[in-house]
Amino acid sequence: MTALSITILAGFLIAILAPFLTRLMKHRAAFVLALYPLAVVMQLLALQRGSFTAPSIQFPWVPSMGLWMTFTLDGLGFLMGMLIAGIGTLVILYGGEYLRDDPYLERFFLWVIIFMASMLGVVTSGNALVLFVFWELTSISSFFLIGYKFEYESARAAAWQALLVTGAGGLAMLAGLVLLGQITGSFEINQWLQNPKLVQESSLAPAAFILILLGAMTKSAQFPFHFWLPNAMEAPTPVSAYLHSATMVKAGVYLLARLFPVLGGLALWNQVVPWVGLLTLVGGALLALGQTDLKKLLAYTTVSSLGGMVFLLGLGTPLAVKTAMLFLLTHALYKGTLFLVAGGVDHAAGSRDIRKLGKLAKLMPFTTLAAGLAALSMAGIPPLIGFISKEYVYESTLYYSNLPFILTGLAVLANVANVAVAGWVGIRPFWQQPEQKDEDLHLHKESVWLWIPPLVLAITGLFMGVFSQGAAQTWVAAATSSVLQEISKVKFSLWHGITPMLILSIVTLIIGVVVYLTSRTLIPGLAAFWKKLSFVGPNLFYSRSMRAFLSVAGWQTKILQSGYLRYYIITIIVTAVTLAVVTLATRYGRLPNPQWTQPRFYDVIFIVIIITSAILVTRAVSRLATITLLGAIGFSIAILFLLYSGPDLAMVQFAVETLTVILFVLVIYQLPKYTKSNYPIQANVLNIIVSVAGGVMMAVLMLLTSAVPSNSTLAPYFMENSLELAKGRNVVNVILVDFRGLDTLGEITVLMIAAIGVFALLGLKKGSKSGGNR
Amino acid sequence: MQRSIILPVATRYLMPLMLVFSIFLLLRGHNEVGGGFVGGLVAASALMLYAISTSPSALWKLLPLDPRFIAAIGLFISLFSGFIPLFYGKPFMTGMWIETPLPVLGKIGTPTLFDVGVYVLVIGVVVWILLEFAEDE
């Protein structure tokens, strides 16, 4: 496991190096970069000899808080890992060709590899918090990949939408994981799995379950959060194939499967999860039938299939879990292929509209072959693996204890849509005449690296079907065992004799073919229907709430950020005074008596200077007079600091006052003519009230503070240990750079940010004027 | 406008003195009054004095680096000083000191380096901000 973890984590380093490599080698960098996922595949395959498990390893993260980066591998992680790394290898090769002349190819490689490493991190994490970190990283890389064509408004909007939806779900999930951590006292997932009773008996368990389910639902595009996935088709096709079909969207399914031993025993699980899945399964399928864009068709059927997996996990019988795992594998194989095919078609023909495409078989024979195999698998026709998977789905629903016939009927309905869509995407563009003539199509031949990856995937699907007792069987058995936490036997075969499932399969196929043939009337009809219904759709809800959110933000900004310095100061002072008065009023009886000390005569001198200057400032008629009087105040305060033994403070105050003068000298010529503003009398009264209130409040607070006897142990501690521990006699400076050094680090960072802000405000305004001398 | 000769001539002597003084403040900071922050402010005043007495563009030429880089380098030095203890298996920002004091500099340790970073950053930030306000006439 150590070696595997290091390989996986090395992905982040490789990702950072990828742009440089891309600059050197152009699109050929793909051949080097593909070695990374290939290495992961090899290491996983080497582990296959054992029981697909690897002893977990721990890197210290924050050991003082009991946090360890635990990595572990079991059958479920193995299955997901194979999909991620295997399809990842093909997607990198494919992407290099697909985006060959794209100026931002390096960004594609960067984010795809970051995604790959994070996703592998998700499925090998043994610690819930580590899992969460990787989970969020996949959301972020998905954001950048959807927004890859950032010049387009639609791509940016889709990227935002995906990030906000999955990000919000991720936060809910974090809360859920923290609750589980509170219940069990550990964030090690293994600890959770070993003590399911502990969780199930807790009163917090339902809350944790719902929160985690929200995370899984948003990530795996479950209704009503499904809408971001079809919009995410703005991403380049290899990204859609990889993130939004084969791997990332399965993270939610993975999470549910991973926590099935803990949460599956809750009564809520059976009441909620199957229905969420079923709604998505059927809804996605029906929505798919109204689409004409290749990628949208695939996206909605992906939503439907993800619903299917969640539904099966929700049923929770050993058979259903087994089916879910098989479906996970099958779906990635055929849907990944079809997405890659769609990209190839788009590349060669310049369109993704199924009505405009046709007769491509001669032009792109290998793509046609890949598409055909994947379509047969998706339609569930033997001997492809999709057939076995569909049989299992029917078996799971038919023998379920509750409403078996309704569940089976709905599953048939969803599969009918799958058959039709499989035909529309995988058969029709290649064999049939196009429905509409389009002069804009520029057909050209398929490129080698655009057909090899989908063909490899498609043939894998074929082999896994024909030799179903090989890899598919062992992998699914291993994954099922780790979900159910007991050794599970799986035996796949293409022929079971005449069973109810076989008859259902045939029925599905026949209806599916009928639907396939009626596309000319069905698609526009359904599309119009969905459009009519869109006013209740969650997409609209999303855009409405975004708009409302932005207008509230705009409204409060307009109030709080008026742009006038005087209003800012008034707001700050009034808020501070109100808070102080309220606090003081609630403790009225317990306030200490202020202590007075006799002021020395030189104190009085400076206080008089300060008061006189302050009054004169308000009457000053020129800028020079104002700045001089303010300087007098500042320097007098600095001297007071000095008199009351604060030399460090005094020095800083002196330096700041000096710099203020310099600043003033620099800007004096640029300022507009000083006009004594004649505020209306009410405004002046308000100003006077606010400033007097601020002054009085500060004075009272100072008096009260100095009257409280200091019983803090902090000051003596610093005084005593400054020399001993930090080797310095100037306690103020020792506190700044050593004892509270982290605060100082934060403060100087803020200083830097402030400078950047000033630069942004002034530098941009000056524009090219200042460009000459830098 | 007629320029006064007094300020440029005074600056020629004042600026180096102030810069030396700022370094003095920085180095004595750990034991006596002073420190990186105030030292940086003094150094920045010295540089700005030069900018006023000659011209902002003259200061641009005088600086070895863009003040933005100076500020960034300062932040980096401070951050880096915090990382040094990590190499010795100690928590971030643990103060570590060289056993024997060096001549002139005195005792040197990671907090000293941290303070140097603050000093450099303050010079960079202040000069940067003030030069943004300044314009050549």
**Domain presence at residue B110:** yes
CB contact under 8 A, A730 and B29: yes
> Measured between CB atoms, which of B42, B111, B137 is closest to A737?
B111
Quote the percentage of chain B above a pLDDT of 90.
Answer: 41
Out of A659, A729, A736, whose CB is closest to B35? A736
Whether A768 shows a pLDDT value over 50: the answer reads no
Give the per-residue pLDDT at A557: 87
Distance separating alpha carbons of residues A632 and A610, to the nearest angstrom: 7
Judge whether B80 lies within some domain: yes
The answer to whether the Cβ–Cβ distance between B95 and A773 falls below 8 Å is no
CA distance A323 to A393: 6
More confident residue, A399 or A681: A399
Which residues, in sequence order, are bridge partners of residue A73? A54
pLDDT at A771: 43
The predicted model gives B104-131 an average pLDDT of: 89
**Residue A774 scores a pLDDT above 60:** no
Please judge whether A736 and B37 are an interchain contact, meaning their C-beta atoms are less than 8 angstroms apart. Answer: yes
- A441 pLDDT above the threshold of 70: no
Q: How much is the pLDDT for A765?
A: 59
Name the residue among A438, A284, A446 with its Cα closest to residue A352. A438
Q: Kindly list the residues from chain A whose CB atom is less than 8 angstroms away from the CB atom of residue B14.
A: none
Q: What average pLDDT does chain A have?
A: 88
Inter-chain touch B132–A763, beta carbons under 8 Å? yes
Contact call for B133 and A666, based on CB within 8 A:
yes
**Considering only CB atoms, which chain A residues are within 8 Å of B107?**
727
What pLDDT is stored for residue A528 in this prediction? 84
In a domain, B98, yes or no: yes
User: Is the pLDDT confidence value at A764 over 80?
Assistant: no
**Chain A residues 547-586 with a CB less than 8 Å from chain B:** none
pLDDT tens track for B65-117: 999 999 999 999 999 998 888 888 888 888 888 777 777 777 788 888 999 99
Q: What is the 3-state secondary structure (H, E, C) of A83-146?
A: HHHHHHHHHHHHHHHHCCCCCCHHHHHHHHHHHHHHHHHHHHECEHHHHHHHHHHHHHHHHHHH
ipTM of the shown complex: 0.90
Mean pLDDT of A371-382: 91
Q: Residue A727: list chain B partners with CB under 8 A.
A: 30, 95, 97, 107, 109
Q: Residue B69: which domain range?
A: 6-133
Above 80 in pLDDT, residue A468?
Answer: no
Taking only the tens place, the pLDDT of each residue in A262-282 is: 998 888 999 999 999 999 999
Q: Looking at residue A440, what is its pLDDT?
A: 66
Residues of A in contact with B30 (CB under 8 A): 727-730, 733-734, 737
Helix (H, G, I), strand (E, B) or coil at A686: helix
Please give the structure tokens belonging to residue A496: 């079971």
Continuous H helices in A668-740: 681-707, 714-726, 731-734
Task: Using the predicted structure, report yes or no on whether residue A514 has a pLDDT greater than 70.
Answer: yes
Residues in chain A with CB shorter than 8 Å from the CB of B29 are 730, 733, 737
Q: How far is CA B9 from the centre of its chain?
A: 23
Contact B48 A659 (CB under 8 A): yes
Q: Does A734 touch chain B (CB under 8 A)?
A: yes
- Write the CB contacts of A771 (distance below 8 Å, at least 6 apart in sequence): none
Give chain B's domain count.
1
Residue of B nearest to A663 (CA): B130
| Distance between CA atoms of residues A650 and A592, nearest Å | 29
CB B120 within 8 A of CB B70: yes
pLDDT value at A226 more than 80: yes
Distance in Å, alpha carbon of A740 to nearest chain B alpha carbon: 10
Tell me if B1 is assigned to some domain: no
CA-based nearest residue in chain A for residue B43: A655
A554-594 residue pLDDT tens: 998 888 888 888 888 998 999 999 999 998 888 887 777 77
Which chain B residue lies closest to A751 (C-alpha atoms)? Answer: B125
Q: Is the pLDDT of residue A767 over 60?
A: no
pLDDT for residue A446? 79
A-chain residues near B34 (CB < 8 A): 648, 651, 730, 733
Distance, in Å, from the CA atom of A284 to the CA atom of A273, rounded to the nearest integer, reads 16
- Answer whether A661 touches B (CB < 8 Å): no
pLDDT tens per residue across span A96-152: 999 988 889 999 999 999 999 999 999 999 999 999 999 999 999 999 999 999 999
Q: Which residues of chain A have a CB within 8 Å of the CB of B27? A: none
**What is the pLDDT confidence band of residue A33, given thresholds at 50, 70 and 90?**
very high
Per DSSP, the residues of A460-487 read HHHHHHHTTTTHHHHHHHHHHHHHHTS-
Peptide bond into A224 cis (omega under 30): yes
Instruction: Inform me whether the pLDDT recorded for A603 exceeds 80.
Output: yes
H/E segment holding residue A189: helix A189-194
- The C-alpha atoms of residue A166 and residue A172 are separated, in whole angstroms, by 10
pLDDT digits (tens, 9 = 90+) for B33-64: 888 899 999 999 999 989 888 888 888 888 98
pLDDT: is A617 or A534 the higher one? A617
**Contact map slice: A 67-96 vs B, CB within 8 A:** none
Whether residue B118 and residue A659 make contact (CB cut-off 8 A), yes or no, is no
CA distances from B13 to A287, B6, B20, B40, B64 (A): 80, 11, 11, 19, 20
Mean pLDDT on A521-527: 82
Q: Is A667 on the interface with B (CB under 8 A)?
A: yes
* Residues paired with A67 in a beta bridge: A62
- Nearest Cα neighbor of A82 from A489, A457, A469 is A457
Between these two residues, A355 and A682, which has the higher pLDDT value?
A: A355
Chain B nearest C-alpha distance from A169 (Å): 33
Q: Is B94 a domain residue?
A: yes
Q: A483-497, A671-685, A699-713: lowest mean pLDDT where?
A: A671-685
Chain B hits for A762, CB-CB cut-off 8 Å, are 132-133
What 3-state class would DSSP assign to A551?
helix
The minimal CB distance from A652 to the residues B31, B41, B49 is found for: B41
The string of pLDDT tens digits covering residues A716-731 is 888 888 777 777 788 8
- Residues 339-378 on A with a CB inside 8 Å of B are none
pLDDT single digits (tens) A145-194: 999 999 999 999 999 999 999 999 999 999 999 999 989 888 889 889 88
Residues of chain B with Cβ-Cβ distance to A655 below 8 Å are 38, 41-42, 45
CB contacts < 8 Å between A and B, how many?
A: 146
Record: contact B122-A751, CB cut-off 8 A: yes
Identify the band that residue A677 occupies on the pLDDT scale cut at 50, 70 and 90: low
Q: Is the pLDDT of residue A772 over 50?
A: no
> Which residues between 700 and 729 in chain A have a beta carbon less than 8 angstroms from any beta carbon of chain B?
725-729
- With cut-offs at 50, 70 and 90, classify the pLDDT of residue A676: low
Picking from A734, A744, A759, the nearest residue to B132 by CB comes out as: A759
A748 contacts in chain B (CB < 8 Å)? 74-75, 78, 117-118, 121-122
A754 touches chain B (CB under 8 A): yes
Task: Give the mean pLDDT of A224-237.
Answer: 91
CA–CA min distance A703, chain B (Å): 27
Angle at A580 between CA A574 and CA A581, to 5 degrees: 85
Give A622's pLDDT tier (boundaries 50, 70, 90): confident
Check CB contact under 8 Å for A732 and B35: yes
Please give the pLDDT value at position A59.
84
